[in-house]
Amino acid sequence: MNWILLIIGGLFEVAFAACLGKFKETSGIDSKLWFGGFLVCLFISMFLLIKASKTLPIGTAYAVWTGIGAVGTVLVGIFYFNEPATFWRVFFLSTLILSIVGLKFVTH
């Protein structure tokens, strides 16, 4: 169950990064709404990380949480914010995904 909480927390980390990206691009009330979304997603993400780390090793939990956030944020950047998908970005993103999966398999 805690792995599921950790994955959901990582997805909320992606959401708060995406909200931050939209906050940069907007102004006025839209900007304030995106900032509010950022704060809500940040709170939920941190809360789920705390819950998951009660039974999972903190080093593994934090690495997986940030890894999900990093991979997801790069993908959001590529698909939503039109950032480049160069060979080396995709290559290193793949190695990061393999590392996250590896940590999951070696943690008891």
Position 107 scores a pLDDT of 78
Whether the Cβ atoms of residue 48 and residue 60 lie closer than 8 Å to each other = no
Q: Which domain holds residue 42?
A: 2-106
Predicted confidence band of residue 108 (pLDDT cuts 50, 70, 90) = confident
The total number of structural domains in the chain stands at 1
Identify which of 52, 54, 57 has the alpha carbon closest to the alpha carbon of residue 8.
52
Predicted confidence band of residue 106 (pLDDT cuts 50, 70, 90) = confident
Q: What string of DSSP letters covers 24-85? A: HH--HHHHHHHHHHHHHHHHHHHHHHHHHTTTS-HHHHHHHHHHHHHHHHHHHHHHTS----
Position 54 scores a pLDDT of 94
pLDDT digits (tens, 9 = 90+) for 34-92: 999 999 999 999 999 999 999 999 988 999 999 999 999 999 999 999 999 999 999 99
